[in-house]
Structure formats: structure tokens, C-alpha cells
Amino acid sequence: MTRGQAGRRDPALACGSDAVAWRLRGHLYRKIRESGVVPGRAGLRKELGVEAVEVDRALRFLADAHVLALDQAGEVWMAHPFSAVPTPYRVETPVGDYWANCAWDAIAIPLILGTDGRTPTVCPHSGVRFDLTNVGRRVGPEGSVVRLPVPARDFWDDIGFT
């Protein structure tokens, strides 16, 4: 998707499918919170009791709205800030463990869940292992820096790299 396409909507999604999309979104995030796993299309279809084409349209609608990102097979790859695939950012919380897409998302997950979190990771610059923490809504270790290599306005040009 190129810049500017996000606001364009598929006419097939204009009626009825928006409701399915937002219902799917709520269900998706509840499942992630409960299990730490991003459900697949088949599971979403079965759990929501809708046809595969409705799930696919709803996922495309949510992807176009930048709520989530799909992989090449149309499965959920990122349900921001959660990742459907393993990354160097495994967030450990009292609620459960979750994959984050990046350090920024690893900070966001405990905040969204209303809990503390710890993410054992490696500094991409120095290679030093450390724990990125979020305790009492304070990020540590003190002095930590999250580098965003792409300006925010360009995130969706290549969300996987960002």
C-alpha cells in the first residue's frame, strides 16, 4: 500500500462488513489477551460464526484502516502492538506472555493490559542483553532509548521494517 491509499475503502466493505470488522477486532484482541496467541482466519470464522469471505473482507478493512497488518496469505501478522510471529521482543506480564513487533510495542503491551511487563532482549546497536521493563507505568532501565529508524509519517510504507 502506498501513502494516501489508507483512506480509500472497498465499496464491498461499505455496508454491513464494517460491523463484522469491528466485531472481529474486539474478538481478536480478547483472544490475544486471554491466550497470548493471535488467532488465524479459520479460528476467527468458526468462533464468530461467519463465512470465510466475511472474515477476509473484515481483515482487509482493518488492514486498510491500519488496525492490523496481514501476511501474504491474508493471515493476521500484526495486531498492533501484538505480533502473530516470534520476534526478539517477548513481553512477560502477570496476565500472560505476548510477542511484540518491536521495542516500542513491547513498552505499549503492558500499558494496554494495565499491568507491569518485562521483555528480555538485546540492544540492536551494542548487542548487550538487557531487560526492557515497564513497572508502575515507568519504562526501564533508566536512560533507555528506543530508536525509530523511520519517521512516523512513513511507518506504513513498510510496517514490517519500521
Q: Are residues 22 and 70 in the same domain?
A: yes
pTM of the entire structure?
Answer: 0.81
Q: pLDDT of 82-141, one tens digit each?
A: 999 999 999 999 999 999 998 999 999 999 999 999 999 998 888 999 999 999 988 998
Please report the pLDDT score of residue 14 as a whole number. Answer: 44
The answer to whether residues 82 and 38 touch, using CB atoms and an 8 Å cutoff, is yes
Q: Are residues 100 and 137 in the same domain?
A: yes
Look at the chain and report how many structural domains it folds into: 2
d(CA 30, CA 16) in angstroms, rounded, equals 22
Torsion of CA 83, 55, 156, 115, to 10 degrees: -40
Evaluate whether residue 125 is within a structural domain: yes
Query: According to DSSP H, which parts of the chain are helical?
Result: 17-35, 41-48, 52-64, 103-113
Which CATH number goes with the domain that contains 144? 3.15.10.60
CA proximity to 62, closest of 88, 38, 90, 33 = 38
Mean pLDDT of 65-76: 94
